[in-house]
């Protein structure tokens, strides 16, 4: 069988249909429980085999690092090192997912690079090895290898495939500024120690709540205002901040494209040009 010379792949964003923080772990991470789902908005990653060296080219709506801080590049280096592959790569990353938005863009890019390189080089190793490599890159990276909705526990790396019982279609709002995940969790811990926030009640652990909203909204008041406006104006089935923010999403029991077009236009008129707004659909598989 001939080996591939290039591969082109879709790297989806994700949303968190609830994010509960159960406590801090000895390794510095937090124990979480979250239902995550891939969505139809995503980056594009083209990878081509070359003679030597690894070149990362980026384009699209958002700027991202082109050095070792880029998770896609980290994933490529880790994969080649693990399998002792002597090859060059050209990686073209087209960014559609806003960075620092709680949508897992970097993690999705990393997972997509791992799975793409496995196919590109015809590696027959167990998928378990890829999951082990993914866990080294970040807590959310293993989820994107699963390629379907999942209940994620531990620090996010323990995965159980899940069925989504919410409407599939919605609107995504990125306010034009990022929220740094380490800051959000650190601030949550500080407020927890002060008694300003409380651990989730075991009786409500499966409710679609995001425990980081209170933390993030206390600093970025506009996000709380936006969520209230969305709920009061459009009455979605579910409206939450995704991950540690800064993006919000709203799900609607609607199939009419005109409904979403009208909602987006009204939201743009209300929010102005600073807010990035897109319709999306939850994906059952990728």
User: Does residue 19 share a domain with residue 107?
Assistant: yes
Nearest to 250 by CA among 226, 273, 274: 226
Q: What is the pLDDT of residues 84-114, one digit of tens each?
A: 999 999 999 999 999 999 999 999 999 999 9
Per-residue model confidence (pLDDT) at position 68:
85
In a domain, 1, yes or no: no
Neighbours of 216 (CB within 10 A): 22
What is the DSSP pairing of strand 169-174 with strand 276-281? antiparallel
Which of 161, 189, 211 is the last residue in one of the domains?
A: 161
- The CB-side HSE value for 38 (13 A sphere, CA atoms) comes to 26
Residues annotated within the binding site for ATP are 98-108
Per-residue model confidence (pLDDT) at position 27:
76
Token output for 82: 């693990």
Q: Which residue has the higher pLDDT, 2 or 164?
A: 164
In which domain, by residue range, is 80 found?
6-161
Q: Residue 267's domain is classified under what CATH number?
A: 3.30.70.890
What DSSP character marks residue 114? Answer: H
* Per-residue pLDDT at 266 exceeds 90: yes
Distance CA 38, CA 152 (A): 13
In a domain, 17, yes or no: yes
Contact 35, 16 (CB under 8 A): yes
Is the four-CA dihedral 158, 94, 171, 280 of positive or negative sign? negative
Q: What is the pLDDT of residues 34-84, one digit of tens each?
A: 999 999 999 999 999 999 899 999 999 898 988 889 999 999 999 999 999
User: Does residue 177 share a domain with residue 151?
Assistant: no
User: Does residue 150 share a domain with residue 11?
Assistant: yes
In a domain, 217, yes or no: yes
Q: Which residue has the higher pLDDT, 27 or 127?
A: 127
Number of domains in the chain: 2
Nearest to 252 by CA among 232, 267, 234, 237: 237
Which of 161, 196, 223 is the last residue in one of the domains?
A: 161
User: Does residue 68 share a domain with residue 11?
Assistant: yes
Please report, rounded to a whole number, the percentage of residues in the chain having pLDDT higher than 70.
99
Q: Residue 201 — very low, low, confident or very high, per pLDDT cuts 50/70/90?
A: confident
Q: What is the pLDDT of residues 155-178, one digit of tens each?
A: 888 999 999 999 999 999 999 999
What DSSP character marks residue 4? Answer: P
Burial class (CB in 10 A: 0-12, 13-18, 19+), 178: middle
Please report, rounded to a whole number, the percentage of residues in the chain having pLDDT higher than 90.
81
Per-residue model confidence (pLDDT) at position 246:
96
User: Does residue 95 share a domain with residue 11?
Assistant: yes
Q: Which residue has the higher pLDDT, 27 or 234?
A: 234
Which of 161, 178, 197 is the last residue in one of the domains?
A: 161
User: Does residue 84 share a domain with residue 32?
Assistant: yes
User: Does residue 146 share a domain with residue 35?
Assistant: yes
Token output for 271: 């929010």
Residues annotated within the binding site are 98-108
In a domain, 223, yes or no: yes
What is the DSSP pairing of strand 88-95 with strand 169-174? unpaired
Catalytic residues: 14, 140
Q: Residue 120's domain is classified under what CATH number?
A: 3.30.230.10
* Per-residue pLDDT at 185 exceeds 70: yes
Give the mean pLDDT of 192-219: 89
Residue 245 CB partners (closer than 8 Å, separation 6+): 101, 102, 179, 184, 212, 213, 216, 220, 223
Q: Residue 1 — very low, low, confident or very high, per pLDDT cuts 50/70/90?
A: very low
Token output for 111: 């997972």
In a domain, 286, yes or no: no
Q: Residue 217 — very low, low, confident or very high, per pLDDT cuts 50/70/90?
A: very high
Per-residue model confidence (pLDDT) at position 2:
54
User: Does residue 210 share a domain with residue 177?
Assistant: yes
Distance CA 85, CA 181 (A): 33
In a domain, 207, yes or no: yes
User: Does residue 58 share a domain with residue 31?
Assistant: yes
């Amino acid at each position: 069988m001939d080996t591939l010379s290039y591969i082109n792949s879709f790297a989806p964003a994700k949303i968190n249909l609830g994010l509960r923080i159960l406590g801090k772990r000895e390794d510095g991470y937090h124990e979480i429980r979250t239902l995550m789902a891939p969505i139809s908005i995503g980056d594009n990653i083209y990878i081509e085999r070359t003679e030597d060296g690894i070149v990362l080219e980026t384009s699209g709506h958002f700027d991202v690092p082109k050095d070792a801080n880029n998770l896609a590049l980290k994933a490529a280096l880790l994969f080649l090192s693990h399998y002792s592959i002597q090859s060059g790569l050209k990686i073209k990353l087209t960014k559609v997912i806003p960075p620092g938005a709680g949508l897992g863009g970097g993690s999705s890019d990393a997972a997509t690079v791992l799975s793409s390189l496995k196919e590109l080089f015809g590696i027959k190793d167990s998928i378990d090895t890829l999951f082990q490599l993914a866990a080294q890159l970040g807590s959310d990276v293993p989820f994107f290898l699963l390629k379907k909705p999942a209940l994620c526990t531990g620090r996010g790396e323990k995965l159980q495939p899940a069925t989504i019982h919410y409407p599939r279609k919605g609107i995504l709002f990125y306010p034009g500024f990022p929220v740094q995940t380490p800051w959000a969790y650190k601030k949550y811990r500080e407020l927890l120690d002060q008694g300003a926030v409380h651990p989730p009640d075991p009786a409500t652990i499966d409710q679609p709540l995001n425990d980081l909203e209170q933390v993030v909204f206390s600093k970025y008041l506009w996000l709380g205002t936006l969520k209230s406006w969305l709920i009061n104006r459009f009455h979605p089935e579910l409206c939450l901040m995704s991950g540690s923010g800064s993006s919000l999403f709203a799900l609607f029991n609607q199939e009419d494209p005109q409904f979403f077009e009208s909602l987006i236009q009204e939201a743009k008129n209300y929010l102005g040009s600073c807010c990035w707004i897109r319709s999306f659909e939850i994906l059952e598989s990728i």
